[in-house]
Amino acid sequence: MTVMDAGLHAEIAAFIEDEARLLDDQDFAAWLDLFDDDCRYWVPISRDQKAPGDGVAHFNDEKQLMAARTHRLMNPRAFGAEPSPRTAHVVSGVRIDRVDANGGLVVSSSQIVIEYRRRDRFEADSRVFGGRFTHRLRRDGTNWRITEKRVDLINAVGSMNALAAPF
């Protein structure tokens, strides 16, 4: 790895870690600002799905729907989102997989997301999700923007009651 490659890798790893921190801090406005206006946030049921229209997904959102979902999480009167879930992300193994034809990057990482929500015996208060996270990034001046975020959960085919918090 060259010095430039190491610098780019460190920059991208910090970006992915900062994105996870924004979710953990429930700073959804800043999190949404990381995404392009024509972005896609996608959590498919199967790793075999090649495109968002290929099958069922837990999330298959464009930015407007992402904004509506996160706004709802912060509304204290939103049924099903009360109390709002808290998360802790553990990010590992950030890799730059390839550079696309337009100079954008495809980046993957392994992440574990611990979600806590006091549910008063409705279901377990804590849940753990893990999987491969793939980000498509493009440079916008000096900043990186997310054009697509795909989350392939290892337990995606399992029963998941009331997924609300973004991964």
Q: Which CATH number fits domain 3-153: 2.170.130.10, 3.10.450.50, 3.40.50.300, 3.30.420.40?
A: 3.10.450.50
pLDDT along the chain (167 residues), means of 10: 73 97 95 96 90 86 92 70 80 95 93 83 76 96 95 82 73
Contacts of 101 (CB under 8 A, 6+ apart): none
Residue 56 neighbours by CB under 8 Å, 6+ apart: 44, 45
Tell me the pTM: 0.89
pLDDT in tens, 126-163: 889 999 999 999 999 999 999 999 999 998 877 666 67
Query: How confident is the model at residue 155, as a pLDDT?
Result: 83
Domains in the chain: boundaries: 3-153
- Do residues 139 and 11 lie in contact, with contact meaning Cβ atoms separated by under 8 Å? no
